[in-house]
Amino acid sequence: MHLNNTWWKIKSWVFIIGFIVYSLLSVFLFYITSGGWTSILEGLSGLGIAGVITVFLFAICGIRYIAGVHFIFIHKIFLFIVFISQLSALLFNIGDCGDARGSAGNFIQRFFINTPLACTPELHPIVNDPSVFFIVYGLFLIIFLIACLFCTPRHTAKD
C-alpha cells in the first residue's frame, strides 16, 4: 500500500514473510559470492542470524498486533541504503582456497578483474578488511528493522 513518496505502509505479516524471503536470498547471495570454507561458515552463520532475527520479528509483530497496530511503515530511502550496503558487502565478499594455501581475493577480483583466477599467495583483497562492509551492512539492517517496527510517520492519523 502506498502512503506517500517516501513511506510504504504494509501489513505486519507481509513484512515478516518479505523479511524471511529476503534473508534466504541474502544468505544464498553471500554463499555464492564467497569461496572455500568461508562460504560454508557464512551460510551457516547467516542462517542462524536470520533465524534469530525472524523469531524477534514474530514476537514484536505479535505484541504490536495485540496492541492493535497492524501496519508497518518502511522508509524507501533507508531501504535503498540497506540494499546499497548489502551490495557493497557482496562485491567485497572475500573467499579462500579451502585447504590450499593462498587467497582467492574478493568477488570483484574473482569474477570481474581476473577471470581465470587460481588460488595464489600473491593475490590480496582490494580492500584490506572486507569485514567493514559486513559490519556496516549489519548495522544498517538492524537500524532499519528497529525503525520499521517502532517508528511511524507523523501524518498517519487519517490512514
- The answer to whether residue 155 sits within a structural domain is no
Q: How far apart are CA 104 and CA 107, in angstroms?
A: 9
CA distance 49 to 109: 27
What pLDDT score was predicted for residue 157? 45
Q: For residue 11, is it within any domain?
A: yes
Q: Domain limits at 48? A: 7-150
Question: Which cell is 147 given?
Answer: 525503525
Q: Give the pLDDT band (50/70/90) at residue 2.
A: very low
pLDDT at residue 126 tops 80: no
Per the domain annotation, does 135 fall within a domain?
yes
Q: Is residue 141 part of a domain?
A: yes
| pLDDT tens figures, 79-118 | 888 888 888 888 777 766 666 655 566 666 666 665 445 5
Asked whether residue 57 is assigned to any structural domain, the reply reads yes
Total number of domains constituting the chain:
1
The per-residue pLDDT for 3 is 47
Residue 159 domain-assigned (yes or no): no
Check residue 158 and give its pLDDT: 46
Average pLDDT over residues 64-76: 88
Instruction: With respect to residue 131, please indicate whether it lies within any of the assigned structural domains.
Output: yes
Structural domain contains residue 2 = no
